């Protein structure tokens, strides 16, 4: 027997494993949400459980009552993983003893802690966080109310408010504050518990689930979902038929850009006329977003560029920006190099700079704000589908990450039941049945992720990729159609010490059959390994497939955006 198969408690000299199957309690995990009073624990727990009816009559009652009385721990089943319980704990008050508070949540029964902070991080928050350190449990730090904080910043900063930069600054401040207390970055998230589709909410969810499931490999960062509108174009069909549909849909959308809006950022010192002319009546297929200019005194061109890029627009209209020629050239070149379009409008009379995504020079119109705005409207509307198509090409990796994540979470919802079902069959003496169930579930995972033979054939037909190259991207052993013997080896009950000894004595122990039951814990781990491991494979396969499509389409993409 290989070392890896010897259960830990035997190698470490502990008591031998009992012969009865592990109780499913070993599959139950608990997440405790703790934090200062009013920091948003209950609201966060409800969002994690997909309860969004914040304004039910009882909610409003409690809101107006002020609800000052303490409540006990509220337990919720976490719907994405039915074997996980969320504990919404009572609030911690400044002046309370952090260690007494921590003891009151019975930390020994908790697998992961989520610590919420409100709009500002207080000393009491830091004390509480400090008291969690010795527990040795994973901690996820969540600063809530980020929607309110941004709102306040917007009011205070007025016309010079840059959303993306402000968010970056807030993140930096939180990290600096916690870093000063020896808490390093990866588990810090800025969220609004009222807007679970925005900010770091998805990243926070991935982090918590990864910690609970003890998934050791890195999980791709889920960025703030800029491309949610593009992702939703694929969701219905991929939900229905699996991820192998992605490449076919992508081809269709690249040929006929879907009706989503492109984002036009208008920046500069004197943009009001242009913005209102572009908004009234609204441009079809475009959203106009006014952005601050470089400010007075003007910020550095590097900072301005960073601010513009953090707004993630598809095209930038830069109006009489008060910048000198060389700064302006730097700005335009950098934006174009980052795959954006920009138009310099006004300011330089007859001088015309023309740039496009290919760096070509071409004749352009001379824009005079106020006189040629109708022409600008026509040009923008005509170019909108092309902008969407380019955004789609650009966003392919991010869209794949989100679609795969969606499928992974959907499959994860079912694995607890699959595990219980297989283990029950095995304990009733139907071991072969249990293994066949497991095997067929793994096949269905492969099909959902687009990793089975039919899917690979479809993807290779649509994308022109060699199926062998696609197959080479599949690394998870459970995606390779493991035999039932192999599954039994991975999921069976570890041998007890006496069985282990007998198995080394062929004459005395030889005739005896080893009891073969499935271990709930091992079966669950096997399923986690399959769902998360195949998710990584699915990402690689789809990305590989799309590379061909992307190159082909980019070759035919022409830019029609003169920069004047």
Ligand X SMILES: Nc1nc2c(ncn2[C@@H]2O[C@H](COP(=O)(O)OP(=O)(O)OP(=O)(O)O)[C@@H](O)[C@H]2O)c(=O)[nH]1
Query: Is the sign of the CA dihedral 531, 202, 239, 244 positive or negative?
Result: negative
At closest approach, how far in Å is the CB of 74 from ligand X? 9
Segment near ligand X (CB under 6 A), from 13-21, 140-148, 167-175, 284-292? 140-148
Query: Out of 22, 39, 321, 460, which residue is the one contacting ligand X (CB under 6 A)?
Result: 39
**How far from the centroid of its chain's Cα atoms is residue 60's Cα?**
32
Nearer to ligand X, 41 or 210 (CB): 41
Nearer to ligand X, 127 or 261 (CB): 127
Nearer to ligand X, 46 or 271 (CB): 46
Query: Out of 16, 24, 28, 37, which residue is the one contacting ligand X (CB under 6 A)?
Result: 37
At closest approach, how far in Å is the CB of 34 from Mg ion? 11
Segment near ligand X (CB under 6 A), from 39-47, 278-286, 401-409, 512-520? 39-47
Nearer to ligand X, 36 or 435 (CB): 36
- Cβ–Cβ under 8 Å, residues 556 and 393: no
Nearer to ligand X, 38 or 385 (CB): 38
Interaction mask 6-35, Mg ion, x per CB under 5 A: ------------------------------
Q: For residue 474, how many C-alpha atoms fall within 13 Å in the half-sphere facing its CB?
A: 21
CB-based contacts of 68: which residues, under 8 Å, 6+ apart?
Answer: none
Query: Out of 147, 224, 499, 529, which residue is the one contacting ligand X (CB under 6 A)?
Result: 147
Nearest residue to ligand X, scored by beta-carbon proximity: 91
At closest approach, how far in Å is the CB of 170 from Mg ion? 24
Nearer to Mg ion, 41 or 522 (CB): 41
| Residue 133 token pair | 């350190």
- Cβ–Cβ under 8 Å, residues 319 and 267: yes
- Cβ–Cβ under 8 Å, residues 387 and 314: yes
Q: Does 42 bind Mg ion (CB under 5 A)?
A: yes
Beta bridge partners of 396: none
Q: What is the footprint of ligand X within residues 82-111 (CB under 6 A)?
A: 91
Q: What is the footprint of ligand X within residues 442-481 (CB under 6 A)?
A: none
Nearer to ligand X, 37 or 540 (CB): 37
Pairwise CA distance, residues 37 & 155, whole Å: 26
* Residue 493 interacts with which of Mg ion, ligand X, none, CB < 5 to 8 Å by class: none
Pairwise CA distance, residues 507 & 242, whole Å: 52
Query: Out of 7, 17, 31, 40, which residue is the one contacting ligand X (CB under 6 A)?
Result: 40
At closest approach, how far in Å is the CB of 154 from ligand X? 14
CA distances from 91 to 98, 252, 263 (A): 11, 52, 42
Angle at 405 between CA 399 and CA 406, to 5 degrees: 90
Nearer to Mg ion, 91 or 242 (CB): 91
State the angle between helix axes of 484-491 and 431-449 in degrees (0 to 180), rounded to the nearest 10: 100
Nearer to ligand X, 115 or 490 (CB): 115
DSSP per-residue letters across 67-135: --S----EEEE-TTSTTEEEEEPPPB-TTS-HHHHHHHT-GGG-SEEEEEE-SS--HHHHHHHHHHGGG
Pairwise CA distance, residues 459 & 465, whole Å: 8
Segment near ligand X (CB under 6 A), from 145-153, 250-258, 374-382, 433-441? 145-153
Q: Does 43 bind Mg ion (CB under 5 A)?
A: no
CB-based contacts of 34: which residues, under 8 Å, 6+ apart?
Answer: 41, 89, 92, 101, 102, 105, 113, 114, 115, 116, 128, 132
Q: How many CB atoms lie within 10 A of CB 33?
A: 27
Pairwise CA distance, residues 424 & 422, whole Å: 5
Query: Out of 148, 252, 338, 472, which residue is the one contacting ligand X (CB under 6 A)?
Result: 148
Q: What is the footprint of ligand X within residues 41-60 (CB under 6 A)?
A: 41-43
At closest approach, how far in Å is the CB of 134 from ligand X? 23
Q: What is the footprint of ligand X within residues 338-377 (CB under 6 A)?
A: none
- Cβ–Cβ under 8 Å, residues 129 and 138: no
* Residue 39 interacts with which of ligand X, Mg ion, none, CB < 5 to 8 Å by class: ligand X
Nearer to ligand X, 152 or 466 (CB): 152
Query: Out of 144, 244, 274, 327, which residue is the one contacting ligand X (CB under 6 A)?
Result: 144
Q: Does 323 bind ligand X (CB under 6 A)?
A: no
Q: What is the footprint of ligand X within residues 191-210 (CB under 6 A)?
A: 192-194
| Residue 29 token pair | 């995990």
* Residue 144 interacts with which of ligand X, Mg ion, none, CB < 5 to 8 Å by class: ligand X
- Cβ–Cβ under 8 Å, residues 330 and 300: no
DSSP per-residue letters across 173-237: HHHHHHHTTT--GGGEEE--TT-TTSTTHHHHHHHHHHHHTT--S--------TTHHHHHHHHHH
User: CA Rg, the chain, in Å?
Assistant: 28
At closest approach, how far in Å is the CB of 145 from ligand X? 4
**How far from the centroid of its chain's Cα atoms is residue 93's Cα?**
32
At closest approach, how far in Å is the CB of 390 from Mg ion? 46
Segment near ligand X (CB under 6 A), from 3-11, 40-48, 369-377, 547-555? 40-48
Nearer to ligand X, 139 or 458 (CB): 139
Instruction: Give the footprint of ligand X on this chain (CB under 6 A).
Output: 35, 37-43, 63, 91, 144-145, 147-148, 192-194
Instruction: Give the footprint of Mg ion on this chain (CB under 5 A).
Output: 41-42
């Amino acid at each position: 027997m290989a070392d890896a198969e010897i259960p830990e408690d035997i190698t470490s000299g502990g008591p031998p494993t009992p012969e009865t199957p592990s109780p499913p309690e070993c599959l139950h995990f608990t997440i405790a949400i703790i934090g200062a009073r009013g920091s948003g624990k209950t609201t966060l727990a409800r969002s994690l459980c997909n309860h969004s009816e914040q304004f039910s009559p009882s909610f409003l009652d409690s809101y107006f009552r002020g609800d000052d009385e303490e409540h006990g721990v509220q337990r919720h089943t976490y719907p994405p993983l039915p074997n996980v319980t969320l504990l919404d704990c009572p609030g911690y008050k400044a002046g309370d003893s952090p260690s007494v508070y921590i003891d009151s949540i019975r930390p020994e029964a908790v697998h992961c802690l989520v610590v919420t902070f409100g709009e500002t991080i207080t000393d009491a928050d830091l004390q509480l966080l400090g008291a969690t350190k010795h527990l040795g449990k994973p901690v996820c730090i969540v600063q809530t109310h980020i929607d309110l904080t941004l709102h306040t910043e917007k009011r205070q900063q007025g016309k010079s408010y840059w959303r993306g930069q402000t968010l970056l600054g807030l993140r930096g401040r939180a990290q600096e504050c916690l870093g000063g207390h020896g808490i390093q970055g990866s588990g810090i998230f800025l969220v609004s518990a009222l807007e679970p589709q925005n900010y770091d909410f998805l990243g926070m969810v991935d982090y918590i689930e990864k910690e609970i499931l003890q998934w050791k490999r890195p999980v791709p960062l889920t960025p703030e979902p800029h491309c949610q509108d593009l992702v939703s174009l694929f969701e219905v069909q991929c939900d229905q038929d699996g991820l192998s549909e992605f490449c076919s849909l992508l081809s269709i959308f690249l040929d006929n850009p879907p009706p989503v809006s492109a984002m036009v950022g208008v920046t500069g010192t004197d943009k009001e006329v242009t913005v209102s002319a572009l908004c009234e009546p609204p441009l079809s297929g475009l959203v106009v977003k006014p952005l601050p200019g470089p400010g007075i005194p003007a910020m550095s061109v590097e900072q301005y560029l960073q601010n513009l890029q953090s707004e993630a627009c598809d095209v930038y209209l830069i109006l009489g920006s008060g910048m000198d020629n060389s700064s302006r050239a730097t700005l335009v070149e950098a934006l174009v190099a980052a795959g954006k379009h920009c138009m310099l409008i006004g300011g330089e009379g007859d001088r015309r700079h023309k740039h496009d995504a290919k760096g070509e020079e071409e004749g352009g119109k001379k824009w005079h704000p106020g006189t040629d705005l109708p022409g600008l409207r026509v040009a923008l509307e005509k170019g909108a589908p092309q902008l969407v198509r380019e955004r789609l090409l650009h966003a392919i990796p991010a869209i794949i990450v989100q679609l795969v994540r969606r499928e992974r979470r959907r499959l994860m919802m079912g694995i607890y039941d699959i595990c219980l079902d297989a283990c029950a069959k095995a304990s009733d003496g139907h071991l072969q049945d249990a293994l066949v169930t497991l095997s067929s579930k793994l096949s269905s995972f492969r099909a959902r992720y687009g990793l089975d033979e039919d899917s690979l054939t479809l993807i290779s037909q649509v994308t022109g990729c060699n199926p062998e190259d696609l197959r080479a991207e599949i690394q998870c052993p459970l995606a390779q159609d493991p035999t039932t013997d192999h599954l039994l080896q991975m999921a069976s009950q570890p041998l007890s010490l006496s069985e282990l000894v007998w198995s080394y004595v062929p004459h005395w122990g030889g005739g005896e059959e080893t009891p073969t039951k499935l271990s709930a814990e091992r079966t669950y781990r096997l399923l986690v390994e399959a769902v998360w491991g195949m998710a990584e494979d699915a990402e690689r396969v789809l990305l590989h497939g799309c590379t061909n499509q992307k190159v082909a389409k980019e070759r035919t993409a022409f830019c029609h955006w003169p920069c004047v």
